[in-house]
Structure 1
Amino acid sequence: MNRFLILLLLVSISAQSQTELNYPEVVYGKENISASWVSHPDTKGGEDTAVLFRNTFEVANSKADFIINISADNHYYLYVNGQFITHGPQLSDIQHYKFETLNLKNHLNQGKNIIAVKVINFGKRRFLGMQSIFTSLMVNGVSENAKIINTTGFNDTWVSAIDESYKANEVVWRGDGEKAIVGGFYANNPTDIVNMNNYPTHWETLDFDDKDWKKVEFFENASSMGGSIAYLLEPRNLPLLSWDEERIASIVRSSKPIKTEFPVLGTLTLAPNTKTTFLLDQQYVTNGFPELIFSKGKSATIIIKYAENLFGANNEKGDRNDLENKKLLGYYDEIISNGKDAQKFIPNWMRTFRFIEFEIETKDQELVLENFVNHRSRTTIPSIAKFTSDDDMYNDIFDICKRTIDICTQDYFLSDAYYETMQYVGDTKIQGLIWETLSGNAEHTKNAIRQFDHSRDSDGNILGAYPLRSTFIYPTYSLVWVDMIADQYNTSGDKEFIKTYKDGIINTLAGFEKNMNDLNLVNKTPYRYFIDWYTGPNNGSGTATKNDGLNSAVVSLHYVHALQNASRLFSEIGDERTASNYKNRADEIITSVYKLCYDTDRSLFAERPDKTIYDQHTNIMAILTDAIPENQQRALLDKILNEEDLLQATYYYRFYLFEAIKKVGAPELFDVAQEPWEQMIDDHMTTTLERFESVEKPTRSEVHPWSASPAYFYFNYLAGIRSVKNDFEEVEIAPAFGKLNQIAGLLPTSKGNIEFELKRNKHKLSAEITLPTTIKGKIVWQGTVVNLKAGKNTYTLKSSK
C-alpha cells in the first residue's frame, strides 16, 4: 500500500464544527425537555419514507447561545441556513432513546433563519440494530431563545412535506431471484432510489417556498420524567460523528475511452442516448457518505454500486489489486436526473467501499458529472496509536487492523462495515480492547457494556447483539459480557464499575447455570452456542459439532472462564462468599471436563466426551482456564499449533490463541499464530477479513474488527505495555518481541501518550521510553527491573538470569 497515496486521497477538511454538549459530561439533561414528537399528517407508520421539516424563525441576538436537543425516528439530518450540521441520533433502544444537544449560534444570522431536518424511515428492511416506533422528529429549545423552535404539533411553526423522490431499495440477499450481494446475511439498511424530478431542490435553504407544505402533527409527548408513552429519552454519551471530505480516486476501467481523470481533475460529460460503465478504485477500503454533483441529463439513470472487493468468474476474490476479468457485485443507489444544473445526491445511510462502479444510461440530453467526493464518517475520538517494527509484514498487518477498527467505530461498535453493522458481544470484547489501545479512550466500550446490560432477558441471557430489533441469543456471548467487565477492571481498577454490574453478572451466570447437565457439561439449548466459524465436515454453524453443542467442552470451559473472572471481580469488591461459590463451581466443571474429555493417548482435550472431534478451541480455553496443569500448558500449545487435523481457530478465535501464547510465555509462537494475516497482506487487503476462506462458507465481510486482534497484542504483549494500576496511573513495560528485534510506537492512554523505542540484541535491551508526568512505571527485561521516571528514559538492560 502506497502510504503517500492514501494521504493524498484523504483531504481532512472537516465540514463539521459542531460538538455534542453533553459529552464527556452531561450538562443539559432530559429534565429540560418540553417539546413533543411530531410527524407529517400523512405519515402512516413504519413505511419507508423521507419526511422534510422546516422552521423559519427570527434571531434577535446571533451572538447568544442557541442550544437545542434533537432526536428522530429512524434517523435525521440537520441543516441550518442551508449548511449541514450533523446527523443522528446515536444508536440505542426505545427505553434509552438518545438525543443530541447542540449550540447552533455560530450558524445563525441576525434576523431570519431556517432550521431544516430530513427524517428517514428505512421501512420494513431497516437495519436490524435500529429500533423504531413511528416516523417522527423532536426538537427542543434548551436556552430560552431556542424555545421558539420547539416541536409541539399544536401551535408551533414547523411545516413538513413527504419527499416523493425517495424510495428504499431493498438489498436482495435471499430468495430465488438475482442477488445484489455475495455472501448471504445482510442486516444493514436498504439503499436509495431517488427520482430527482420529484425532489424539492434547495428545500433546506431560507429562500425555498414552503407555502404548500403542511403543518406538522403531534405524535407523542417527549418528556421522559418518570416514563413516556413513546421513547424514554437520555442524552447522547459519545461525541458526534465526523463529516470529513475525502477525495475519491479516479477511473481505472471503463466501457469506452474516457479522457478526463474524473473525479480528481475535472468533469465528465456523457453524450445523449449512450450507456457507460466505469470503475473507481479507492485503493483502500473506506466509508462515509459519497456526494455526487451533476447537471443536465434529463431522465438519465445513474446507478452507483459500492463494494469492498471485486469477484472473479466463480466469485473468488484473490489479489485485491488484480482487477483483470473481475466484476463488482454489491449494493447500489439509483438516481434519475431531472435535467437541471447542480443536482446533488448523498445517500441516506453510510456506504462502505474500496470500489465504486457507475452504470449510466443517458436519454436525449447530455449528462455532466461535476464532482464526486466522500464525506468520511466515524467517531471523532482520535485514533492516534503508532506502531513500527523491523518487519514490514507486522507493520502492514498493523495498518490494516487499525483501518478496520477506525472504520467500525462509529457511535457504537460495528461488527462489520458493509453487511450487518451490528454491535455483537463477542466481536465487541475484542474491538473494545483494540479501540482503547488505539485511542486511549474507554467510553465506547463502556457504552457497549451498558447497552448489552439493557438487553438481558428474564432467563439472564444477554442478546448476542444490541441495540437490536430482533432476537439473537448466543448463550456463550452472555459469558463474554462478564469477561468484558473483567477486562475493564483489569485496566481501570475501578471497583464502582464492578458494583454497577454485579447484579447483572449474578443474573447472567445463574441463567447460564440452567444449561448445565449432570455431567457438569452443557446441555442443548433453544439457541446456538457460538464459538467460531469452523470449517470442514464438523461445522455446526458456529459450534464445533452438529449436535447443538451437547456436552461441548469448549462451551463448558467458556462458562468456567466467566466464573473465574466473576470470582475475581466479587473478591475485589469484598463479596468473598459469592467469589468462593463461583470459584468452586468453576473447579467442579474443570474436573469434569478433564475427566471426560482429556485424551491421555493424544495428550489433547477432545471437544466432547465421545472423543470424535478435536479442535484448537477447546485446548486454547483449557490453557486459559488452567483446566490442565500449568507445567503442561506449553506442551499442549505446541501440540495444537502442529497437529493439522484439529479444527482450526479462525481470525476471531485467534484472539484467545494469542492470549494463550501470552499466558504460557511463548512469544516465539506468536508469528506462527499470526500466519493467516500474512495471506491478507499478500492479497493486498487494506482491512481484515471476517473468516477463513472455504468452499462451504466463502469469506464475506472484509472490514471485520474481530479479526484485528494483532494490533492489540503488538502493544500489550510484544511491546509488553500494560496498565497495572488505575487506568495507566502505573504501567509495566515487559517486552516479549517474538520474532521482532525492534519495536517503536506511540500508545495513547487516559493519562497521556507513551512513546517507546525498544531494541534487543541477544540478551541486551536498549530502551527509549517517554512517559507523561501523570504515569509511573517500570521496565522489566529477563529478570532485570528498572523504575521509569516521567519524561524521557534511556536505558540499556542486560539479563540478570
Structure 2
Amino acid sequence: MSRYWKGKWIWAPAQDESGNGSNVYYYFRKEIELKNLSPSYRLYITADTRYRLHINGQPTGSGPAMCVNHYQYYDVIDVTPSIEEGINCIALEVYRLGSIPGPSGLLAELTDADGAVLMSTDDSWRTVKADAWRSDTQFFRMSMYSPFQEHYSSTREPVGWKESGFRDDGWARPRIWSGPVSDSPPAVAPWTRLIERDIPKLIETREYARAIAYMEESIELMNRMRSEDLSIGLSMAGQPLQFTMIHRAEGLLGAEGGDTELRCSVGHLSRELDGIYNPCIVLDFGRSINAYLELDLTAAAGAVIDIGYAERLLNGRFNNAVEGMYADRYEARAGRQKFRSYHWKSFRYIKLMLRSGTEPLMLHRLQAARCRYPYEERGSFHSSDQLLNQVFRICKDTLDLCSNDSIMDTPWREQAQFVGDVSAVTLGGIYACFGDVLLPGKFLRQSAANQLPDGLLPSVTNSLANDSLHPDYSLWWVWGLWQHYRYTGEEQWIHRYYPHVLKVVDAFLGYVNHQGLIEHMPYAVFIDWAHLDRKGVSTPLNALFYGVAGAVEAMAEIKGDAYTRERLRMARSKLKNGFDAVLFCPERECYTDASFEGKQSPRISEQANTSAIYWGLCSRARAQRIFDRLWGEDSLIHTESQPFHTMITLRALMSAGMREQAVALVKDRWGKRMALKGATSTYEEWESNGSRRNGGFTPIMRTQSHAWSAYPAEFLLYGLAGFEILEPGCGKVGVKPFAGAFDYDIVIPLPQGLLRVSRKAGMSEVMAPPLVKVVSSEKGGDARGQQSIQ
C-alpha cells in the first residue's frame, strides 16, 4: 500500500549550482515547538543519497538502505527518546553521491502516537551547503557506496547548528521538487515508488585494534597534480621514528584506551631539517570489518589526521594507492573533540598519519563502530577435522561481512548487490547459517524492481552506477526465487514474481536456434572469472537455462499455467536432444566450452562439464568418466573453476554420489589456498595478487572478502548432513549423514526450528523440530533440489 505523504521532496535552492554536483553535503534544519508530549513520535524519512539525523544535538539515525531512486527506501525511526517538551531541533547532514545524473532530495515527516503529522519537509526549512566537506576528492569508480574519499574540516562546521536557538536566518529556503501533476510524493519523479524499510535496523558494536602492525615516520610531500588523493601520501614508504613522536601507542589498542601522544617534526621551523616528517601508526583489527571509525582527541586548531583503510598489507606495508583508495581526512579545531566518519569503510588495517602537528595531539580513544545485519547465530558446524572447521568459519564470517542494508559481493571494493553472486551462493549460505529470510526477500524484491524492458535484470540492483548486464545472472535470480519459495514454503513469492520470471524466460527463448540451444545472446555471458570460450552456443549457459527452466515448469504447475509448462517442457526436451550432438566431444569424452558457427571450441573447462552434470544433462556413467578426464591419470588440460563456480563442481560431485571427493576438494581448495594461508574471509579468486581470467596471469588485486566464494558454508552443513528439502517450507526433509573419517556436529536452521545432525564413532544421530518429518535421503546434500542424473 502506498503511503500518503504531506512532506515534500526538498533540496538545495535552484540557484545553488553545487547542488547538482557530485560528492556534496548539505545541512538541513527545522525547529518545532511541542507541548503536552505524545506517548510516542515517529520520523518517516528518506534521502537521495544518504542522510545523518540529529535531534536536539544528538545523533539519532542514518540511512536509507542503499537503493535505486525508482525504488526508494524510507525509514521509520522511533524518535520518542530524543523529543523534549518545548523547542526541538531536527538537523540533518544530507549527502549527494551524484554518480548518475538526476536530482537529489530529502523527504521527512514527524508524527505523534495518533499518526498526526506535526512537521514535514517544505520550504519553511533552512539549508546551506556543508563546506566542512571537500567535494573534489579522489574518486574510485569501482565503488557503489562510497567512491569518494572523505575530507572533513571541523573548523568549517557552523557551531551549534544542530541545536535549537541557532540563528539560521542567513541560510536559504530549499527548493521543492514537483512532478508533472503534483508535488506530493510519490507523484514526484524519480522517486515514484517509496518503500518502507523491509529489513531490521543494522546493529552497531564497538571493535578495537588488536595489534600495532608497525610505526614509522614519513616525509611530507604534496602531489600538486592530485592533492585530492590521500592514498598517495598514505602509501609512501616511511622510515623508523627519528624526528617525530609517538608516545604510548599501545593506548590505541583494546577497549580500555589510553592517551596516545603524537607530534610531527619541528626541525623545519629552524631549518635544522629539510622538510616535515609525519608520524604514522598502522593498526591491525585482526579481521576485516565494516565500520565507521571514531576518534576522541585533543588537538590544536588546524592539526590534520589522515586515515587510510586496507583489507590487507602489501609486502608487509600499508598501501591503498594500488586499488581501493579509501581514506578520510580530519582537520581539527582547537580543544577536545570527536570525529566519526560519515561513510562506513571495510578494512582490517588502518593507517593514521598526523600532519600539520607541530604541537602535540592527544588521541584519547580510537574505536570502530562496526555495522552489520542482525543475523542470529543459528547454523553451526563443528568437526574433529580442524581444517574443515577453519573453512566453515571463514565462509560464514564472509557471509556476515557481506550482509548490510543489501547483500554485497564484497564490502571492500564495489559494495554491489550482484544478482548472480547473491542468487547462486549467498542466499543458500544465509539460509543454512542463519535461517534469515528477510534480507534475501529484500534482495529478490529489489532486484525484480530493476527488470529491464527486454526482460533481463541488470547485474547490480542496489545502484544505477553499474550498468553491466550478464544474462546468466537473470537466470540465477529465477533460481534464487525458486529456492526462496522452497525454503520458506510461501507461495506468495511465486504468485508475485511469476510475471518477472516469464519475462526472463522469454528473453532467452528469443535466442533459441534450430537445434533448441541458446545461441548468440548479445550480452556478456559471465559464468565465472576464468578463461572460457563463451561465443555462440555456451555449454554452461545452456545447462543453466535447462535447469532453471525446469524450476519455471514447476512454478507454472503452481500457477496452473499449462501453456508455459508445455512450452518449457518442449524447449527443455529439444535443448537436451541437441546438447550432446553440438557440445559433447567423443574423442575427448567430455563437453567443450562452446560451439561457434558449427565448430566445437578447442577449450575444455571444469565449468562446462560440471554444469552439464549438475543440471542433469548427462548420465551417471558419463559423469564418472568426465571426472576421470578432469582429474584422473589421463586428465585433459582444462580450465579450473574459480571459487564462484566451484559451487557447481561440488554440487555435481554430490549429484554423482561422490561426497568424499567433494569434501576433499573443499579441503584442497578452500583449506590449502585460503584457510592455511591465514585467511579470515574468503578470496575472490584462488590467488589474491592476480587473475587467470584471460588465460595468462594478470597481476591485479583480488578481494579477500568475497561472498560468492563462501559456498562451503552451505556445503559443510547441507552436504555433510545429506540434507535436502522434499516439501516446500521444510515440513519434510531428507537427511543422509556423511560417513567420513571424522566426527561432526551440524545444526541447520529451518523455519520450524533447528535440525541437528551428528556423527560420532561411526554412529549417526538426527534430531528434528516436532513439525518436521525426516526421511532417509536418496540423493542428499543439496537443499536446492537435486538434478537427476540418468
- Note whether the superposition's TM-score is higher than 0.5: yes
1:435 aligns with 2:443: no
**Which of 500, 511, 514 is residue 515 of structure 1 equivalent to?**
511
- After TM superposition, give the deviation of residue 660 of structure 1 in Å: 1.0
| Residues 756-789 of structure 1: per-residue CA shift (max 9 Å, x gap) | 433251xxx23162x444x3222538999xxxxx
| Residues 225-273 of structure 1: per-residue CA shift (max 9 Å, x gap) | 6675754312111112222222233423101264331313312212254
Once the two structures are superposed, the pairs formed by residues 505-654 of structure 1 within 5 Å of their partners are 505-534=501-530, 539=531, 544-545=532-533, 549-609=535-595, 610-642=600-632, 643=635, 645-654=637-646
Contact 2:717–2:747 (CA<8 Å) still a contact in 1?
no
Aligned to 2:223: none
- After TM superposition, give the deviation of residue 201 of structure 1 in Å: 4.6
SS, match of residue 725 in structure 1? coil
Q: 1:358 and 1:683 mapped to 2: Cα distance? A: 27
Aligned to 2:366: 372
**Which of 701, 706, 713 is residue 704 of structure 1 equivalent to?**
706
Q: 2:160 and 2:400 mapped to 1: Cα distance? A: 33
Aligned to 2:311: 308
**Which of 110, 114, 119 is residue 141 of structure 1 equivalent to?**
110
Aligned to 1:458: 453
**Which of 147, 157, 161 is residue 128 of structure 2 equivalent to?**
161
Q: 2:380 and 2:779 mapped to 1: Cα distance? A: 28
SS, match of residue 377 in structure 1? strand
The 3 A distance-change label for structure 1 pair 447 and 697 is farther
Q: 2:332 and 2:609 mapped to 1: Cα distance? A: 63
Q: 2:291 and 2:122 mapped to 1: Cα distance? A: 33
| Residues 40-76 of structure 1: per-residue CA shift (max 9 Å, x gap) | 3235324321111222223324451112210111101
Aligned to 2:215: 254
Aligned to 1:104: 79
SS, match of residue 335 in structure 2? coil
**Which of 479, 488, 492 is residue 488 of structure 2 equivalent to?**
492
SS, match of residue 735 in structure 1? coil
Aligned to 1:10: none
- After TM superposition, give the deviation of residue 336 of structure 1 in Å: 4.6
**Please, which moves more after superposition, 140-149 or 416-425?**
140-149
- After TM superposition, give the deviation of residue 380 of structure 1 in Å: 2.2
- After TM superposition, give the deviation of residue 436 of structure 1 in Å: 1.8
Aligned to 1:25: none
Contact 2:674–2:682 (CA<8 Å) still a contact in 1?
yes
Instruction: For 1:719, give the aligned amino acid.
Output: A
Contact 1:62–1:110 (CA<8 Å) still a contact in 2?
yes
Q: 1:229 and 1:692 mapped to 2: Cα distance? A: 41
- After TM superposition, give the deviation of residue 461 of structure 1 in Å: 1.5
Instruction: For 1:100, give the aligned amino acid.
Output: D
| Residues 15-47 of structure 1: per-residue CA shift (max 9 Å, x gap) | xxxxxxxxxxxxxx6434211111232353243
SS, match of residue 452 in structure 2? coil
- After TM superposition, give the deviation of residue 102 of structure 1 in Å: 1.9
Note the residue ranges of structure 1 that are not aligned, 5 or more in a row: 1-28, 125-130, 175-184, 313-322, 785-801
Instruction: For 2:730, give the aligned amino acid.
Output: F
Aligned to 1:65: 40
Q: 1:389 and 1:711 mapped to 2: Cα distance? A: 13
**Which of 257, 260, 267 is residue 268 of structure 1 equivalent to?**
260
1:446 aligns with 2:438: no
**Please, which moves more after superposition, 326-335 or 289-298?**
326-335
The 3 A distance-change label for structure 1 pair 767 and 475 is same
Aligned to 1:234: 195
Q: 2:135 and 2:754 mapped to 1: Cα distance? A: 45
| Residues 667-702 of structure 1: per-residue CA shift (max 9 Å, x gap) | 111123212211211211111111132421544111
Q: 1:556 and 1:699 mapped to 2: Cα distance? A: 31
TM-score if structure 2 supplies the norm length? Answer: 0.84
Cα RMSD for the two superposed structures? 2.6
**Which of 25, 36, 51 is residue 26 of structure 2 equivalent to?**
51
1:34 aligns with 2:36: no
Q: 1:336 and 1:611 mapped to 2: Cα distance? A: 56
Q: 2:22 and 2:188 mapped to 1: Cα distance? A: 27
SS, match of residue 55 in structure 1? strand
- After TM superposition, give the deviation of residue 662 of structure 1 in Å: 1.9
**Which of 31, 53, 61 is residue 78 of structure 1 equivalent to?**
53
Aligned to 1:794: none
| Residues 368-411 of structure 1: per-residue CA shift (max 9 Å, x gap) | 22221111112224343222111111111111111111111112
Aligned to 2:224: none
The 3 A distance-change label for structure 1 pair 204 and 759 is farther
Aligned to 1:656: 648
Aligned to 1:196: 154
Contact 2:111–2:118 (CA<8 Å) still a contact in 1?
no
Q: 1:159 and 1:121 mapped to 2: Cα distance? A: 17
**Please, which moves more after superposition, 327-336 or 648-657?**
327-336
**Please, which moves more after superposition, 487-496 or 63-72?**
487-496
The 3 A distance-change label for structure 1 pair 781 and 94 is closer
Contact 2:655–2:779 (CA<8 Å) still a contact in 1?
no
SS, match of residue 432 in structure 1? helix
Instruction: For 2:750, give the aligned amino acid.
Output: T
**Please, which moves more after superposition, 486-495 or 164-173?**
164-173
Q: 2:42 and 2:338 mapped to 1: Cα distance? A: 29
Q: 1:783 and 1:336 mapped to 2: Cα distance? A: 58
The 3 A distance-change label for structure 1 pair 63 and 267 is farther
1:667 aligns with 2:659: yes
The 3 A distance-change label for structure 1 pair 169 and 416 is farther
Q: 2:139 and 2:120 mapped to 1: Cα distance? A: 40
Contact 1:36–1:152 (CA<8 Å) still a contact in 2?
yes
Contact 1:34–1:223 (CA<8 Å) still a contact in 2?
yes
Contact 2:12–2:19 (CA<8 Å) still a contact in 1?
no
Contact 1:306–1:354 (CA<8 Å) still a contact in 2?
yes
Q: 2:158 and 2:338 mapped to 1: Cα distance? A: 11
The 3 A distance-change label for structure 1 pair 259 and 152 is closer
Aligned to 1:741: 742
Aligned to 1:501: 497
1:730 aligns with 2:732: yes
Q: 1:305 and 1:731 mapped to 2: Cα distance? A: 49
- After TM superposition, give the deviation of residue 644 of structure 1 in Å: 6.0
| Residues 136-178 of structure 1: per-residue CA shift (max 9 Å, x gap) | 211113435863321111xx3x32222111024654568xxxx
**Which of 288, 291, 297 is residue 300 of structure 2 equivalent to?**
297
SS, match of residue 736 in structure 1? coil
Q: 2:58 and 2:400 mapped to 1: Cα distance? A: 26
Contact 1:521–1:551 (CA<8 Å) still a contact in 2?
yes
1:150 aligns with 2:120: yes
Contact 1:522–1:549 (CA<8 Å) still a contact in 2?
no
- After TM superposition, give the deviation of residue 284 of structure 1 in Å: 0.8
**Please, which moves more after superposition, 488-497 or 502-511?**
488-497
SS, match of residue 215 in structure 1? coil
Aligned to 2:751: 750
- After TM superposition, give the deviation of residue 419 of structure 1 in Å: 1.0
Contact 2:249–2:261 (CA<8 Å) still a contact in 1?
no
Contact 1:222–1:233 (CA<8 Å) still a contact in 2?
no
Q: 1:119 and 1:344 mapped to 2: Cα distance? A: 20
1:120 aligns with 2:107: no
The 3 A distance-change label for structure 1 pair 756 and 561 is closer
Q: 1:398 and 1:620 mapped to 2: Cα distance? A: 23
| Residues 416-469 of structure 1: per-residue CA shift (max 9 Å, x gap) | 111111111110111111112222122222222222222222222211111332
Q: 1:85 and 1:655 mapped to 2: Cα distance? A: 42
Aligned to 1:799: none
The 3 A distance-change label for structure 1 pair 247 and 726 is same
Contact 2:74–2:196 (CA<8 Å) still a contact in 1?
yes
